[in-house]
Amino acid sequence: MSKSPLRLGIAGLGHVGSEVARIIETQGAHLSRRGGRDIVVTAVSARDKNKQRSCKLAGVAWVNNPVELAAHKDVDVVVELIGGSEGVARDLATAALKASKPFITANKALLAHHGVELASLSEKHNVALYCEAAVAGGIPVIKTLRESLAGNAVKEIYGILNGTCNYILTTMRETGRAFADVLADAQRLGYAEADPTFDIDGMDAAHKLAILSSLAFSSPVDLSALAVSGIRNISLADIHFAEELGFRIKLLGVSRQTEKGLMQRVSPYMVPLTEQLAHVEGALNAVFIEGSAVGPLTLIGRGAGAAATASSVLGDIIDAANGGAPPAFGVSVANMKAIKSLPDSDSIGAFYVRLMVADEPGVLADMAAILRDARISIQSLLQKGRNEAGPVAVVFITHDSNEKAMADALAKLGKMPSVLEAPCVIRIL
């Protein structure tokens, strides 16, 4: 190998950053063969210099301010593993690209909020922006969309993009434990953060879907176009009813081109047990893509964790060593085309609805009248037991209905004196 070594500056030495450095230390010969040159870590930056880590970092320069890695004389490529959409991560990205140094990131929030801005900088300064690790951990979905499926017009893309939520829903179903109990367990095991809001309320998945939508449809990253809801209100009752009706509940990110515009949503969905996605369990992620030439394609794997995420970071490092520099989002910013968003109220689909009602005569007739007036038809209905002292569950599945019509009907159903709790509604994939 006649090329000079590729010198890396790594910002962030948490689980992922330390694992990247450790693999470079222990598997250097393999990485060098794949990259066509030696790959070495020459400078790092993190909050705590004295923290015990899995990597040795012998002879590596320590930089107190991560942004200074962009101007460091011994750094050719900057690797950002700090996280966050603003502050140091954004400043480092901007500085590195302006210095014409390839920038590698696993930061989904940064790209969801500032992806177009950073892609423009990378093109202006003729330098690569790599981001495979930003979505779905070790699953190579970004390269698949950007490179392998470049000859396809993507019709839709959807999937399980948050391992924390998938773990919680899987464990609730398998153990019969309530949401709050399983969430606390996930926090103890490290699947969920101390503040799990971004995961369970859907924003983590929304960041990832915004990036995938841009890649799939050659459009600017637009987080504001997504309708987002999470799993906080999913109950054990809903999980059990789903199984009885032939479904499993999954938090999905869905992006689909329709005649009226691009529908983009993160939401709990009832996934039929006949679908492969229904059987992706635990902390795994899965992404379904339908292309015009390739047809349906499903990618399944570890969507988080130090080793899986480091795998994708190292793939980008090897690309940088080889000099590959495709546009970050598949096409240049100038060739991106804004796509009209489908208003959420115009979406069409089927719904699962659970109502907790007083066990008294006439309730079903009153419900049916409201649904009839909204032109919503019922595909199947379950009513469980009798309980004159308390509420009973009435569960029904609708045929395809307009989202606004469904919302209006639910508002009226919720006001019925016999309906004792707010209706639970879950879309059906």
Closest Cα to residue 310, out of 16, 34, 14, 30?
A: 16
Q: Let me know if 56 is a catalytic residue.
A: no
Residue pair 138/174 in contact by the 8 Å Cβ criterion: no
Distance (Å, whole) CA 120 – CA 110:
14
Helix axes 163-175, 236-245, angle to 10 degrees: 80
Closest Cα to residue 299, out of 107, 157, 129?
A: 157
Residue pair 200/189 in contact by the 8 Å Cβ criterion: no
- Which one from 56, 208, 260, 340 is the annotated catalytic residue? 208
DSSP annotation string for 215-228: HHHT----GGG-EE
Q: Half-sphere exposure of residue 44, counting CA atoms within 13 Å on the CB side?
A: 23
Residue pair 145/131 in contact by the 8 Å Cβ criterion: no
Q: How many residues does the chain have?
A: 429
Residue pair 225/211 in contact by the 8 Å Cβ criterion: no
Name the strand (E) or helix (H) holding 22: helix 15-26
Q: Report the catalytic residues.
A: 208
